[in-house]
Structure 1
Amino acid sequence: MRKILLAGLVSLLPVAALAQEGDAAPSVDLPMADVTRVMAAAVDGFIRPGYDAFHESAGRMTAAMKALCEAPSRTNYDAAKNAFRDAAVSWAHIEVVRVGPVIEHNRFERILFYPDRKSTGLKQVQSVLSKADETATDPLSLGTKSVAMQGFGALEYVLAGSGSDELLRGKQSFRCRYGAAVAGNIANVAKELSDIWDDPNGIQKAWEQPGPDNPNFRTGGEAITALLGILVHGAEAVRDQRIETFYKGADKAKFPKQALFWRSENTWATVKGNLEGLAILLEKSGMVSLLQEKDRPIVAATQAQLKSMIELSGKITPDLEKAVENAAERKKLDTLLADGKGVISKLNDGYGGAIGLSSGFSFADGD
């Protein structure tokens, strides 16, 4: 089927073609004024504030790393780790928007290179640390290097990986300066994204004003289908990349050290952040208003399931080896996987069907 394209983008969605090959093209007929209101609410109520908040948190993380380098202490080390956690959670909120400028120029991977099944990032970060490559201590030059060594994964290893005690040994150690450069690079990319979305004549306008002369969304149906795709694929990413990467069920092989942020024990904090991002986008956009009264309960049911997942993700032990081996903890993981599929179904089949997507249409990647 024809893909929906965004202005100035090489591609739109990891919605990778919104439907699987062979599926019927979407046919959604909604009042343009209502669609415009929802798209504007999504941009102004979630996307722009999300990138602005991420930019601010990345700045605080950079400042905390610089303070640690200048005055190594347990207090400053803990402050840097807390700032890392806050920035990673802030990113998790807006990470669900895997479309638009963030997928241009490798920005997404420069912020977070994951999954990393071949440990490419780990090997490159360890190599930088062993060679003490000074070009990696400047955010600008670091930003031209491999994406695997300039994002959250690299900074987590600096703060929580083998040899992290070096951060407490002396002022301006190489490891610390490299970590500060990584933080600065993330902040630079975050600023780019914030600035791009805040430009009233750029992508913001393209998203908020669908119409026949808009090269991105010529119809309201195209716009809403793309917005729904963000939610569906965001929910899929939580299930497929955040959980199933290391746990697919009690009777399957388990790989706790393949989980995102297992070293810093921030796996569930960021999963919770992803789920919160989905819930906030669904609420702030007012997508429920596009449904007939009889169909609106599907949105309330989706929000209820997301709320349950958010609460549960905050109750799982951060010790992932225990999480995959302990029966009580595995039950929580199994519930998250099941509820995740429920959310995807409610969005894809429930909401999608209610706005008029054909029964053969699917956002799903396939299980």
Structure 2
Amino acid sequence: MQRILILMVSILAISAAGPAGPARAADADDTSRAIAKASVYDHIIPRYDRLAAAGAGLETAATAYCQDRTQQNFTALDTAFRDYWMAWAGIRHVQFGPVQFLDRGFRIQFWPDTRNKIGKQLCRVLAAEDSAALEQTIFTRTSIAVQGLPALERLLAGGNAGYDGPKGAFKCALTETIASNLAIIARGIVDNWNPTDGYAHAVAVAGTGEGPYSETYEVTVELLQSLLGELEASRDVRLGRPLGSALDKARPKLAEAWRSGLSSDILVASLKGTEDLYLSGGFDRALRDAGENALADRITAGFQHAVTQTRALEGSLYEAFAAPEKREALQAIRAGLNVLAGLIGTDLAVALDISPGFNSRDGD
């Protein structure tokens, strides 16, 4: 409901400005093209490249561990797993384009898992010990609940000792399959964004009648929705749901990646990722070119403050959600994210004549 109100205010404010003349429309198109180009080449492609590199590292580490299950090799695998999740947290806000193909985003991270599908499906796969089901072409068609990071986190949660026993070999084979799957998905996204004939080209020709975007501004809308969507998910899902309405209703196990203790690091990586989209993606420059320096400064400060507040919590978010002395700090982070979402969804949208409302490609 809150997002709908923000979008309605944005649309009404933009409409009240009156119809755009030819010169103003041309300026808006130039702004949209500049934001799209900067976002693709200075933010999206570099971060997906980083994800693909992390995927290659994860795949290599899993293979090495399953060949020789030593503590040293397990530590390397665990580190590679964390590196991949951090890379993903820094780009997962982009929820359009190749990441949507073949349900790639959900296959990387099926979350929130409100019905414990991950646990149930993982138990079934482990109980069956069907090696044929781990063949890559078959595994990609299995439940998305066991294909990605949350399932891998559960497998790694028991440490090196968790791979002992008669089921250790199959558990390791499943670990290796998931790691390979994550690497393949990341490589596929990078390949599909290529500037020659990939999605980068589709963005570049937006508004020309070629490709999926009939109007130039539609790409900017997608990007603005990416900013808003991630901020709202952090505010409402990553923080709001585990925090609960009161201390006695806090549910720490709803925190993202609580088993690995990555919740806080993921939130910081998410905030830094969206901040980079705002800065490197050209939104900040567009605001300043429009004479909106004060607004640009407030948005930049909002991102930086949220990161500082999160880092100041120390320890894991899992522990923080159940700690009375940290509740006020968590609520302050949520409040700051709410203000930041308003600045972007309303003030920035109005200043740049961009409506972050749903477009024909949303499917909502």
Contact 1:70 1:172 in 2 (8 A): no
> Does residue 296 in structure 1 map to residue 282 in structure 2?
no
CA distance in 2: counterparts of 1:308 and 1:260, whole angstroms: 21
Report the equivalent of 2:257: 261
Partner of 1:239: 235
> Residue 207 of structure 1 contacts residue 217 of structure 1 at CA under 8 Å; is this kept in 2?
yes
The residue identity in structure 1 corresponding to 2:307 is I
Distance (whole Å) between structure 2 residues aligned to residue 113 and residue 85 of structure 1: 16
| Higher deviation after alignment, 232-241 or 82-91 | 232-241
Contact 1:46–1:284 (8 Å) recurs in 2: yes
Contact 1:77/1:168, CA 8 A, preserved across alignment: no
Residue 120 (structure 1) aligned to one of 117, 121, 129: 117
Q: Following TM superposition, by how much is the alpha carbon of 1:232 offset from its aligned partner in structure 2, in angstroms?
A: 1.0
More deviation in 282-291 or 22-31? 22-31
**Which is worse superposed, 44-53 or 128-137?**
128-137
Q: Please report how far the alpha carbon of residue 349 of structure 1 lies from its aligned counterpart in structure 2 after TM superposition.
A: 1.1
Counterpart of 1:143 in structure 2 is 140
Does the C-alpha gap of structure 1 residues 33 and 178 become closer, same or farther in structure 2, counting only changes over 3 Å?
A: same
Q: 1:340 aligns with which of 334, 337, 342?
A: 337
Q: Which has the higher helix share?
A: 2
Asked if structure 2 preserves the Cα contact closer than 8 Å seen for 1:36 and 1:209, the reply is no
Q: Contact 1:74–1:168 (CA<8 Å) still a contact in 2?
A: no
Percent identity over the alignment is 26
1:219 lines up with 2:240 in the alignment: no
> Residues 280 and 321 of structure 1: is their aligned pair in 2 closer, same or farther, counting only changes over 3 Å?
closer
Q: Partner amino acid for 2:78?
A: K
Letter in 2 for 1:241: V
Matched to 2:220, the amino acid is: I
SS in 1 for 2:113: coil
Which one of the candidate residues 159, 163, 166 is aligned to 2:162?
Answer: 166
* 1:203 aligned residue: 199
Matches within 5 A, 1:11-90: 19=7, 29=25, 30-90=27-87
CA shift for structure 1 position 19: 5.0
Closer, same or farther: CA 315–134 of 1 in aligned 2, 3 Å: farther
Q: Could you tell me which residue of structure 2 aligns to residue 3 of structure 1?
A: none
1:136–1:254 Cα change, 3 Å? farther
C-alpha deviation, 1:137, in angstroms: 3.2
Cα deviation code 1:13-41 (max 9, x no counterpart):
xx99x957x96696684343332222111
TM-score, normalised to structure 2, is 0.86
Are 1:160 and 1:264, in contact at CA under 8 Å, matched by a contact in 2?
A: yes
TM-superposed deviation, 1:130: 2.3
Partner amino acid, structure 1, of 2:50? A
Q: Confirm or deny: 8 A CA contact 2:129 2:170 kept in the other structure.
A: yes
CA separation of 1:73 and 1:236: change in aligned 2, threshold 3 A: same
Aligned partners of 1:69 and 1:177 also within 8 Å: yes
Deviation at 1:175, TM superposition (A): 0.9
Q: Distance in 2 between matches of 1:206 and 1:26?
A: 27
CA distance in 2, matches of 1:186, 1:203: 20
Separation of aligned partners in 2, 1:36 and 1:88: 31
Q: How far does residue 185 in structure 1 lie from its aligned partner after superposition?
A: 0.5
Greater Cα offset, 236-245 or 178-187: 236-245
| Alpha-carbon distance, 1:127 to partner | 1.7
DSSP 3-state at the match of 1:350: helix
CA distance in 2: counterparts of 1:356 and 1:236, whole angstroms: 21
Shift in Å at residue 247 of structure 1?
A: 1.4
* Alignment partner, residue 188 of structure 1: 184
- Distance in 2, matches of 1:77 and 1:327, equals 35
For the 8 Å contact 1:41–1:286, the answer to whether it is kept is yes
Q: Give runs of aligned pairs for residues 88-99 of structure 1, distance below 5 A.
A: 88-99=85-96
Q: Count residues with an aligned counterpart.
A: 345
In structure 2, C-alpha distance between the alignment counterparts of 1:127 and 1:315, rounded to whole Å: 40
Matched letter for residue 162 of structure 2 = E
RMSD: 2.8
- Where structure 1 has 5 or more consecutive residues not aligned to the other structure, the ranges are 1-14
State the one-letter code of the partner of 1:335: A
